[in-house]
Amino acid sequence: MKILDSVAPLAESHDGFILDIWGVLHDGERPYPGVPEALAELRARGRRIVLLSNAPRRSWTVQAALEEMGLGAGLFDGIVTSGEVAWTLLRDRTHPFFAKLGTRAFHIGPERDLSVIEGLDIALATAAGEADFVLNTGPDFAHGRQSTAPYMPMLEAAAAARLPMVCTNPDRAVMVGGQRLICAGAFADRYLELGGEVMEIGKPDPMVYETVLAALDLPPSRIVAIGDTPHTDLAGAAAIGVDAVWALTGLAGDNLGPDPSPTLLDAEAAREGVAPMAALRSLRW
C-alpha cells in the first residue's frame, strides 16, 4: 500500500473530502500537528470538506468543541454526526425501527450526550423496567471509560425487559490524549450477546452519508474519505463508492504502531475486508 506523507497529492486528484474527526483532525484534546494548515490549504484551493463523525451528539456541539481547539467553521463546509442523524430519526419516526419506539428512554451514557434528544418528546426513565427503549451514547465518567464490565448490570436489566437499543455511535473504541477508551459500539456488542435488538446509527451505514454527499455535490470519483478506522471509515467509503485513505493516526497508530510497513497495512486491510487507495501518515500539507 502506498503511504502518503502529505494530503497535497489528494488535492490534485480529488475535489471533495469526507474527513473523520477523532483520530484524523485531533486526538480528543488538541489538533494533530499541521491539521489547521492542511485544512486551510485545501480550502484555499477550492476543495470542499465535510466532516463526518460517529460522535453521539448533535453537530452543533461538535462544532463548538472544534472551535475551542482552534478549528473554526471557516476550515470546512459542514459537519454531520451520527448523533445528528439519530436525532432526526427520533424526531421523524418514519424509519421502521424508530416508528415502533415509545417515548421513554433508558439512557446509558454521559449527560453531555443528551443533545441527541433535545426538543423531542422523549423522557428519561431512571430504570430499564420503566423504559420503552435504550438510548446508548457510550460510557460515562462515573462508571469508567475503559471497560464494559461496570455497565453489564444495566445492559442485563435492559435485555431482561426486552428493550430495543438505539446506539448512536457504532465505534468500539477511540483514542483520547493517547489513551484508548471504549465507545457505544462496545455496549452494542455486549447487548447483542445478551440477545438484545440493536440499531446502530453511524458509519459505515450509507444512510449517514446522504447529507454529506448532498453537501459536496460532486461525482463519487472526485471524492475521497479519510479515516483511521477500517470497519467504519474505510468500509463506509466503499459502501458509497468513493475512494478511501487510511489515516495512520488515532486508532490506526495505536493498533499498528507509529510506522507500519506497506506489507502490514495490506495484510490488515485484507483482514478487515477493505481496500483503501493509500494510507496517510497524518493530515498535514
The pLDDT of residue 252: 86
- If pLDDT is split at 50, 70 and 90, which confidence band does 175 have? confident
> Where residue 100 falls among pLDDT bands split at 50, 70, 90?
very high
Q: So what's the pLDDT on residue 13?
A: 97
CA distance 182 to 19: 21
DSSP string across 6-64: -SHHHHHH-SEEEE-SBTTTBSSSSBPTTHHHHHHHHHHTT-EEEEEE--SS-HHHHHH
Helix or strand or coil: residue 198? strand
Q: Residue 144 — pLDDT band, cuts 50, 70, 90?
A: very high
Distances in Å between the Cα of 159 and the Cα atoms of 45, 96, 129 are 51, 20, 10
Q: How far apart are CA 73 and CA 79, in angstroms?
A: 9
Work out the pLDDT band at 255, boundaries 50, 70, 90: confident
Task: Give the three-state DSSP class for 210.
Answer: helix
| CATH architecture label of 84-200 | 3-Layer(aba) Sandwich (3.40)
Q: What whole-number percentage of the chain has pLDDT above 90?
A: 93
CB 47, CB 75: distance < 8 Å? no
User: What pLDDT does residue 194 have?
Assistant: 98
- pLDDT digit string, tens, across residues 15-63: 999 999 999 999 988 999 999 999 999 999 999 999 999 999 999 999 9
Distance CA 137, CA 184 (A): 5
Question: How sure is the predictor about 210, in pLDDT bands with cuts at 50, 70 and 90?
Answer: very high
DSSP-assigned letter for residue 275:
-
User: How far apart are alpha carbons 111 and 19 in whole angstroms?
Assistant: 27
The pLDDT score that the predictor gives to residue 258 is: 82
Tell me how far apart the alpha carbons of residues 10 and 278 are, in angstroms, rounded to a whole number.
Answer: 10
For 177, counting Cβ atoms within 10 Å of its Cβ (0-12 exposed, 13-18 middle, 19+ buried), the class is exposed
DSSP assignment, residue 110? -
Domain span(s) for CATH 3.40.50.1000 in the chain: 3-54+204-280, 84-200
The band of 177, judged by pLDDT with boundaries at 50, 70 and 90, is confident
Per DSSP, 161 falls in state T
- Computed on alpha carbons and rounded to an integer, the radius of gyration of the chain in Å comes to 19
The pTM for the full model equals 0.92
Q: Would you tell me which CATH number, out of the four given (1.10.3720.10, 3.40.50.20, 3.30.465.10, 3.40.50.1000), belongs to the domain 3-54+204-280?
A: 3.40.50.1000
pLDDT > 90? residue 137: yes
